[in-house]
Structure 1
Amino acid sequence: MKILVTRPQPEADKTARRLVAMGHEVVIEPMLHFQPLSLCGGVAGDAKAIAVTSAKAIEALVFNDLVSSLQQLPVFCVGDATAKAAEFAGFHRVMRAHGDVDSLAKLIVESHLKGPFFYPAAVDRSGDLAGRLMQQGVACRMVETYQMVAAAKLSQITRDQLQAGGVDCALFYSARTVQAFLNVSNLEKTIVFLNSMKALCVSKRVAEHAASFGEVLVAKTPSEESLFELLTSLQG
């Protein structure tokens, strides 16, 4: 199958390598681009732990050279990919939730740590982790540390592939990615070609934004492994 990968870099390349190893053809078209914000050294305040909902937040801390001052704090991560990024960056005590904000909030509450938690967040957020924690009596300091800038256009290669009907399906890992892709497709008048494609979405929330596709499939769990299981079922 020919698969459109819309993740930001460098995750897009990692996903593409896995897909190629599985025998697929890949078109890479990142819809969001990482842009870290400048942070001061004391941004975490008197935090007793860190809550992270994306590996990009870890990248922002690395960019600002803050890991060494924070690495002894426990880090509660939304899922495996974020946890691996935290460990690779040098954090020593890393806990994993099950891939979404709900499970992360539950993990933090069940830890019985009252905080304050330092939550390095994106400018555009899909959930309210800080609000959920505060409702449970857990102090949380949310700080915007990075933004994901939406792509303004498609590459010529992707445009040609879409117009030729050469793409079988697209993988989507976030609602903002779907929205960015559809916005660009509208502008470039390629949206009409999406009704012959499948959208494979990491969650129901992401799938809600993918109605322009011919078929929308949702992973059983919010993970890349589950997305790949969908691909395998399509082949089988």
Structure 2
Amino acid sequence: MRLLLTRPVFEAERTAAALRARGHEVAFAPMLEIEHIPDVSIGAGPWSAVLMTSGNAARAIAEHPQHDRLASLRCFAVGAQTAAAAKRAGFNDVVSANGDGGDLAKVILQHVASDAEPLLYLAGDDRARDMAAELAPAGLRLEIVVIYRAKAAAHFATEINDGLRSGRFDGVLHYSRRSTEIFVACARESNVTAAAAGLKHFCLSRRASEPLSDIGATQIAVAARPDEAAMLELIS
């Protein structure tokens, strides 16, 4: 298949390699550009652990002056890819929820006592779930530090527009509700809505698939689990 990858390029490179190994052709159409915030104030702590829901947080903290102090803490990661990024960033004690934000909250509740010091959530500026609200009923406190921003694409690149108009692509991979919303907006901006709707849409979660109804997409497949391995299993 000829596929579009909508992840930020750094993350998409790994996915592209896996898809090419399976015989697929890949083009990059990143819907988000990640910008680290290297001078953000982390605070004084103390914290019981670090929480990450994206590998972007791990890559951002790796460049921060307070990295060494935080890397000694346990890190709770939403899934395997985020956990791997945390380990590459120098965190040795990493616990992966292997799921979504709800699974992460459950794992944290299993490991952290209600009277523990707050958890430090290294987050992006746009978050799909309110992790503080999910942990608060158990008495757990969360301190949120926005350590990266995700800037939305305003339009498709020329080669992507041309490819959509000419029918060069067969499918597209969607990883979050926000990036799917941006994909839909770009399709409208470029007047290629019908072509975009006609693709096969492979989605990490049901939530990521929801904006596709706005353009009348009908070929939508949702991964059985919210991880990339399950997503790639959808693609024949």
TM-score, L = length of structure 2: 0.94
Name the residue aligned to 2:46. 46
Name the residue aligned to 2:111. 111
Structure 1 residues 48-87: aligned runs within 5 Å = 48-87=48-87
Contact 1:109 1:136 (8 Å CA) reproduced: yes
Name the residue aligned to 2:229. 225
Identity %: 34
Task: Give per-residue Cα distances to partners, 1:150-185, cap 9 Å, x unaligned.
Answer: 111211111111001121110011111101111111
Q: Secondary structure at the match of 1:7?
A: coil
Mapped to 2, the partners of 1:57 and 1:21 lie a distance apart of: 28
Report the more deviating stretch, 203-212 or 215-224: 203-212
Mapped to 1, the partners of 2:42 and 2:124 lie a distance apart of: 18
Mapped to 1, the partners of 2:44 and 2:199 lie a distance apart of: 44
Which letter maps to 1:7? R
Mapped to 1, the partners of 2:38 and 2:97 lie a distance apart of: 28
Q: Secondary structure at the match of 1:103?
A: helix
User: Does the C-alpha gap of structure 1 residues 42 and 228 become closer, same or farther in structure 2, counting only changes over 3 Å?
Assistant: closer
TM-score, L = length of structure 1: 0.94
Which letter maps to 2:3? I
Task: Give per-residue Cα distances to partners, 1:17-64, cap 9 Å, x unaligned.
Answer: 111111011111111000112445643621121111111111221222
Mapped to 2, the partners of 1:69 and 1:194 lie a distance apart of: 46
Name the residue aligned to 1:180. 182
Superposition RMSD on alpha carbons, in Å?
A: 1.4
Equivalenced residue count is 232
Contact 1:202 1:221 (8 Å CA) reproduced: yes
Name the residue aligned to 2:100. 100
Report the more deviating stretch, 45-54 or 205-214: 205-214
Name the residue aligned to 1:123. 125
Contact 2:86 2:94 (8 Å CA) reproduced: yes
Contact 2:9 2:28 (8 Å CA) reproduced: no
Mapped to 2, the partners of 1:44 and 1:210 lie a distance apart of: 43
Contact 1:41 1:66 (8 Å CA) reproduced: no
Q: Does 1:12 align with 2:16?
A: no
User: Does the C-alpha gap of structure 1 residues 178 and 40 become closer, same or farther in structure 2, counting only changes over 3 Å?
Assistant: closer
Contact 1:52 1:76 (8 Å CA) reproduced: yes
Mapped to 1, the partners of 2:23 and 2:40 lie a distance apart of: 46
Structure 1 residues 138-153: aligned runs within 5 Å = 138-153=140-155
Task: Give per-residue Cα distances to partners, 1:74-125, cap 9 Å, x unaligned.
Answer: 0000000000001111111000102200000000011133331000111111
Mapped to 1, the partners of 2:168 and 2:42 lie a distance apart of: 51
Q: Choose the corresponding residue for 1:191, options 187, 190, 193.
A: 193
Q: CA deviation at 1:198?
A: 1.1
Mapped to 1, the partners of 2:178 and 2:40 lie a distance apart of: 28
User: Does the C-alpha gap of structure 1 residues 158 and 40 become closer, same or farther in structure 2, counting only changes over 3 Å?
Assistant: closer
Which letter maps to 2:59? E
Contact 1:44 1:118 (8 Å CA) reproduced: no
